[in-house]
Copies of this chain bind each other. A is one copy, B any other.
Amino acid sequence: MLLLTASAGGSDAARFFLVLAGMLVAAKLAGELCERAGQPAVMGELIAGVLLGAGGLGLIPTASGDPLTPVVRLFAEVGVVVLLFEIGLETDLKAMARVGPAATAVAVVGVALPFALGAAYWASGLHGVEPSKAGRLITAVFVGATLTATSVGITARVLSDLRILHSLEARLILGAAVIDDVIGLVILGVVSGLAAGAAPSVAGAARVLAVAVGFLAAAVWLGLRVTPGLFALVDRMRVRGVLVVAAFAFLLVLCALAERAGSALIIGAFAAGLVLSETNQFDAIEERIKPVADIFTPIFFLSVGAAVDLRVFDPRLPANRATLVIGGVLLLIALVGKLASGWAVPWRRFNRLAVGVGMAPRGEVGLVFAQIGLAAGVLSGRLYSAILFVVVATTLVTPPLLRGAFGRGATVEDELP
């Protein structure tokens, strides 16, 4: 009311409400269809996003001039951090620490292998593309870098959909994905420097690594000490909804701090969940954050789908065919490189394939690399489109592949309290 629903603002709100309602209804219907077809619900949400997005019905605002685009984008951001917060809440910190060294091995192999294969493919010249003015080697480093970073959102949601978040494999994947994000930040620092013409600096890379690892460690360490007192105070407050608001605000602050510290929003979200999973109010927080996640999280997955315009990959256009061939090779490298990471752990019995598949989806970090390379003239438009193809393909194939891989079973560790 007061100043808020004045004439113009009002119809903006009405359109926003219809967009939100359309996205949510489509998400649940498509999710239901996928689940009945034996697939994870998130796959339906991604496909619904593609159908409602810029390349489809255009319901989801993606144009930069549309006043609703930033609103939906920020709703989606809240969606992905609430998702990672929930995943963190359900993650047992001690069990996670136990798989720490193994997860590090998975992350390192899953970064090193796609990087080496991608860079080698480009340096070899097998693709038949003329070197850019920046030189073949720099371009090769960029191509390799874009293939390294796992996007944990998709996998986390599939693990949640399949109700196997407590399996050994899920812990390995989530732990490796977080470490992978930290490595990704280091690589981002190095390639940004390369794009700007700087020589790669070990000191600079070490600083980025120290900040990212330091933030995560400090957040969890400090959080574990501060939150019990904080939430004991919250328990003594009388106003309505104070617990869910406190947990939500804690999540938001940790995300923002993570980003300000040079890390990623979702690292802060995961850390916030890990920390609050150790408080006495854990059950109540989990129960009350669930409806909030139910509203926000589908907006994220639909937005991911909406950003995809399948027409760029239409093979009827000759220009697209060359892009698809290069994209296909890079996709193969991207998949093989991450699949192999499941074999990085020397343990005898667990589902290596599922771990490898779980690490497969690529996302924002790869695209950030690619955008920097495109802007600096290191990557051509065609190469950028090929990398976009890899991101889209790994995102869309992971849910059914991961479901299939877990068909061979998940390893149940002893459940800790």
Contacts and interface: CB of A to CB of B under 8 A. Distances in A.
A275 to B, nearest CB: 15
A297 to B, nearest CB: 8
A129 interface: no
B13 A259 contact: yes
B2 A291 contact: no
Contacts of A152: 1
Interface in A262-278: 264-266
Given A28-B237, A238-B36, A367 B13 contact: no
Interface in A252-306: 252-253, 255-256, 259-260, 264-266, 288-295, 298, 300, 303-304
A249 B21 contact: yes
B239 A32 contact: yes
A32 B365 CA distance: 42
A13 to B, nearest CB: 4
A71 interface: yes
A49 to B, nearest CB: 10
A291 to B, nearest CB: 4
B24 A249 contact: yes
Contacts of A290: 241, 288, 291
Interface size class of A (residues with CB under 8 A): 35 or more
Contacts of A18: 252-253, 256
Given A249-B25, A288-B291, A291-B291, A10 B265 contact: yes
Interface of A: 1-7, 9-18, 20-21, 24-25, 27-28, 31-32, 35-36, 41, 67, 70-71, 73-74, 76-78, 80-81, 151-153, 161, 237-242, 244-246, 248-250, 252-253, 255-256, 259-260, 264-266, 288-295, 298, 300, 303-304, 307, 363-365, 367-368, 371, 391, 395
Q: Which 7 A-B pairs have the closest CB atoms?
A: A241-B294, A1-B363, A1-B364, A21-B252, A17-B252, A3-B307, A21-B249
7 contacts: A5-B368, A9-B73, A10-B264, A15-B256, A35-B238, A244-B294, A290-B291
